[in-house]
């Protein structure tokens, strides 16, 4: 790495009032032609470019981003990372990502502030208890750490939860994945951008894709707001806008794009040192290093690209938060925002080739893509470089909607939606 | 969040309604003769349009009737409302 960050570089730059830090990634104009182009400069797209350059030795790569890198869902999520999914295919995919997270700061020489503070999923009725216990067993068979906690243990692990049996949805227990946690979302995009740029990847911001040029059944390049760029490998990682790109080549995807909201409170002293999720009442909360409560709400029920979301969704989430944590009743919320998430019918992602040669899609992450960022990039890079999926993403192909071999994580795996 | 003009009850808050997704997806006339590809197309594939979308809504906390809406999904503006069975307005493409 050209400009390795270390305690020495920190001291050296402190002596010059931090005025001589070099730009972390370049700002090039697009070349005429690339070996591969990644559409979408979020965490997944930048990670894909990073692993294409690092592991598959492609050097002439561009990442096109219509806004600024990490300005979409990468910068809008609630940063939760976990791998406690029910089905084998999902467990493989998400735990692959979690293992990469555990070493990501060292790998990128960039502090992504990965904090394994644990993620607890609450059960509020008998069916929740059965489902979550089943998932705990399935996780352990797949080598993923998971424990079941009874109500007293939940209270001990997170004392501010109201475990009274008198509330509308009492806490009957929960599962805990201790290796799970959070990370700084912007740092993930910036770290991958810096790493990729260092290996010669062109990161081109403010460049929107307007069309895909095809010759028969293969791609030849992209029409963009910065002109035509030739390539014969296109990896689309456009999250909520995946269908928009797919429509350019007449391809329909099994996706619906919906606003998903989050909000943060005013900063307070440390009060919750873990992540608590509850799907039944739809509330999840953690605390950022700045002290804000980070609260995730649900998706709207309708297709929309507005990055706002409805007020009633926030209202329902906050009702649930207040019942579970009466201590927050006088907290003020500071900011609310929405991101557009692309949801698959089976709540599992698509990392797949298409029937057009050289066109690959990585989409359908829905409400929970952030946690998979490193794994998603690694596996998508493998798929693009080899024109063949890795065994960990083979099940997440586009054809599963035809064959019926779905990876149904909707109700099964504590997927919040 | 927006208001929807229910053709039976008038203008109400969107939270009273439930979204039924893309409209005018025709149920297969002879399901037994459908190929796997055609089933996938009918069940799962969606236009998911950014722009003007034809969609179904149900006034679930009101008259509980279904109807169609033309809405611009890029700004949530509702352009037209029409009843089930009626032809979609032709001035939106």
- Write the DSSP string, A169-209: S---EEEEETT-EE--HHHHHHHHHHHHHHTT-EEE-S--E
Q: Which residues of A touch B44 (CB under 8 A)?
A: 254, 345, 401
Q: Which residues of A touch B53 (CB under 8 A)?
A: 303
Q: Which residues of B touch A402 (CB under 8 A)?
A: 36-37, 39-40
Distance CA A417, CA A291 (A): 25
| Block residue for tokens 């080899």 | A386
Residue contact A256–B39, C-beta within 8 A:
no
pLDDT at A360: 98
Distance CA A88, CA A311 (A): 37
Taking all residues of chain A, what is their mean pLDDT, rounded to a whole number?
95
Contact by Cβ (8 Å): A200, A53: yes
- Listed by number, the residues of chain A in 148-207 with a beta carbon closer than 8 Å to a beta carbon of chain B are none
Q: What is the SS3 assignment for A39? A: strand
| Block residue for tokens 């586009």 | A398
Residues in chain B: 93
Residue contact A303–B48, C-beta within 8 A:
yes
Contact by Cβ (8 Å): A352, A285: no
Give the closest-approach CA distance of B76 to chain A in angstroms. Answer: 7
Count of other CB atoms within 10 angstroms of residue A293: 22
Pick the CATH number of B3-92 from 3.30.2270.10, 3.20.20.70, 3.40.50.150, 3.40.50.720: 3.30.2270.10
pLDDT at A416: 54
Count of other CB atoms within 10 angstroms of residue A14: 9
Say yes or no: A258 contacts chain B, CB-CB below 8 A. Answer: no
- Of B50, B14, B74, which Cα lies nearest the Cα of A307? B74
pLDDT at B90: 86
Classify residue B81 by burial, with Cβ atoms within 10 Å: 0-12, 13-18, 19+.
Answer: middle
Say yes or no: A354 contacts chain B, CB-CB below 8 A. Answer: no
Predicted TM-score of the model (pTM)? 0.96
Q: What is the pLDDT of residues A211-254, one digit of tens each?
A: 999 999 999 999 999 999 999 999 999 999 999 999 999 999 99
Q: What is the pLDDT of residues A361-409, one digit of tens each?
A: 999 999 999 999 999 999 999 999 999 999 999 999 999 999 999 999 8
Q: What is the pLDDT of residues A276-291, one digit of tens each?
A: 999 888 889 999 999 9
Our measurement of the distance from residue A72's CA atom to the centroid of its chain's CA atoms, rounded to an integer in Å, reads: 11
- Cross-strand partners of B54: B70
Give the closest-approach CA distance of A342 to chain B in angstroms. Answer: 9
Give the closest-approach CA distance of B69 to chain A in angstroms. Answer: 12
Distance CA A411, CA A305 (A): 25
Q: Which residues of B touch A342 (CB under 8 A)?
A: 48
**Residue A200 pLDDT > 60:** yes
**Residue A258 pLDDT > 80:** yes
Q: What is the pLDDT of residues B39-73, one digit of tens each?
A: 999 999 999 999 999 999 999 999 999 999 999 99
Residue contact B47–A404, C-beta within 8 A:
no
Give the closest-approach CA distance of A162 to chain B in angstroms. Answer: 29
Contact by Cβ (8 Å): A39, A64: yes
pLDDT at A3: 80
Which residue among A309, A311, A402 sits closest to B40, beta carbon to beta carbon?
A402
Q: Which residues of B touch A241 (CB under 8 A)?
A: 50
Q: Which residues of A touch B36 (CB under 8 A)?
A: 402-404
Which residue among B18, B22, B73 sits closest to A304, beta carbon to beta carbon?
B73
Place A11 in a pLDDT band, splitting at 50, 70 and 90: very high
- Of A395, A38, A354, which Cα lies nearest the Cα of A209? A38
Contact by Cβ (8 Å): A93, A164: no
**Residue A303 pLDDT > 70:** yes
Element spanning A149, H or E: strand A147-149
pLDDT at A60: 96
pLDDT at A417: 47
Task: Dump strand ranges (E) for B14-83.
Answer: 18-22, 52-58, 66-72, 77-83
Interface confidence (ipTM) of the complex: 0.95
Say yes or no: A310 contacts chain B, CB-CB below 8 A. Answer: yes
Which residue among A252, A305, A342 sits closest to B73, beta carbon to beta carbon?
A305
Mean pLDDT score, A43-71: 97
Q: What is the pLDDT of residues A80-128, one digit of tens each?
A: 999 999 999 999 999 999 999 999 999 999 999 999 999 999 999 999 9
- The full DSSP string for A322-376 is HHH-GGGTTPPEEEEEEEEEEE-TTS--EEEE-SSBTEEEEE-BTT--GGGHHHH
Say yes or no: A353 contacts chain B, CB-CB below 8 A. Answer: no
**Residue A10 pLDDT > 60:** yes
Distance CA A9, CA A365 (A): 38
Say yes or no: A44 contacts chain B, CB-CB below 8 A. Answer: no
Distance CA A372, CA B74 (A): 28
Say yes or no: A301 contacts chain B, CB-CB below 8 A. Answer: yes
pLDDT at A224: 98
Element spanning A242, H or E: helix A242-247
- Of A101, A43, A72, A79, which Cα lies nearest the Cα of A292? A79
- Cross-strand partners of A115: A182
Residue contact B76–A306, C-beta within 8 A:
yes
Domain boundaries in chain B?
3-92
Residue contact B48–A312, C-beta within 8 A:
no
């Amino acid at each position: 790495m050209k400009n390795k960050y270390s305690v020495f570089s920190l001291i050296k730059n402190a002596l010059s009032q931090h005025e001589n830090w070099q730009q972390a990634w370049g700002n090039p104009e697009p070349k005429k032609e690339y070996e591969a182009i990644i559409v979408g400069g979020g965490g997944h797209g930048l990670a894909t470019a990073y692993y294409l350059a690092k592991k598959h030795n492609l050097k002439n790569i561009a990442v096109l981003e219509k806004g600024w890198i990490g300005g979409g869902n990468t910068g809008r999520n609630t940063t939760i990372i976990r791998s406690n999914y029910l089905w084998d295919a999902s467990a493989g995919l998400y735990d692959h990502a979690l293992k990469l997270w555990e070493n990501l700061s060292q790998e990128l020489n960039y502090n992504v502030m990965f904090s394994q503070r644990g993620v607890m999923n609450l059960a509020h009725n008998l069916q929740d208890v059965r489902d979550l216990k089943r998932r705990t067993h399935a996780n352990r068979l797949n080598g993923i750490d998971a424990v079941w906690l009874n109500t007293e243990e939940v209270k001990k692990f997170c004392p501010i939860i109201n475990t009274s049996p008198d509330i509308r949805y009492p806490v009957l227990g929960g599962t805990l994945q201790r290796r799970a946690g959070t990370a700084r979302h912007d740092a993930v995009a910036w770290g991958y951008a810096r790493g990729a740029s260092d290996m010669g990847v062109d990161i081109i911001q403010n460049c929107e894709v307007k069309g895909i040029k095809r010759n028969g059944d293969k791609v030849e390049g992209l029409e963009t707001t910065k002109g035509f760029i030739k390539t014969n490998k296109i990896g689309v990682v456009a999250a909520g806008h995946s269908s928009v790109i797919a429509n350019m080549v007449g391809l329909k995807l099994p996706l619906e794009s919906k606003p998903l909201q989050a909000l943060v409170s005013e900063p307070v002293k440390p009060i919750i040192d873990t992540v608590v999720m509850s799907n039944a009442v739809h509330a999840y909360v953690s605390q950022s290093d700045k002290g804000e409560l980070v609260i995730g709400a649900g998706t709207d029920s309708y297709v929309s690209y507005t990055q706002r979301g409805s007020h009633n969704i926030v209202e329902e989430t906050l009702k649930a938060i207040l019942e579970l944590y009466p201590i927050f009743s006088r907290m003020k919320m500071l900011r609310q925002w929405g991101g557009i998430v692309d949801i698959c019918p089976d709540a599992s992602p698509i990392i797949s080739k298409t029937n057009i040669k050289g066109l690959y899609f990585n989409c359908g992450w829905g409400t929970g893509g952030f946690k998979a960022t490193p794994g998603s990039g690694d596996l998508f890079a493998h798929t693009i470089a080899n024109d063949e999926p890795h065994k960990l993403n083979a099940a997440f192909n586009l054809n599963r909607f035809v064959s019926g071999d779905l990876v149904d994580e909707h109700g099964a795996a504590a997927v919040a939606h | 969040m927006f208001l929807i003009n229910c053709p039976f009850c008038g203008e109400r808050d969107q939270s009273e309604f439930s979204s039924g997704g893309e409209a005018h997806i025709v149920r297969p006339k002879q399901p037994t003769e459908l190929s796997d590809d055609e089933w996938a197309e009918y069940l799962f594939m969606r236009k998911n349009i950014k722009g003007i979308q034809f969609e179904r809504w149900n006034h679930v906390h009101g008259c509980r009737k279904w109807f169609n809406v033309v809405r611009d999904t890029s700004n949530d503006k509702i352009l037209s409302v029409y009843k089930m069975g009626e032809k979609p307005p032709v001035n939106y493409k």
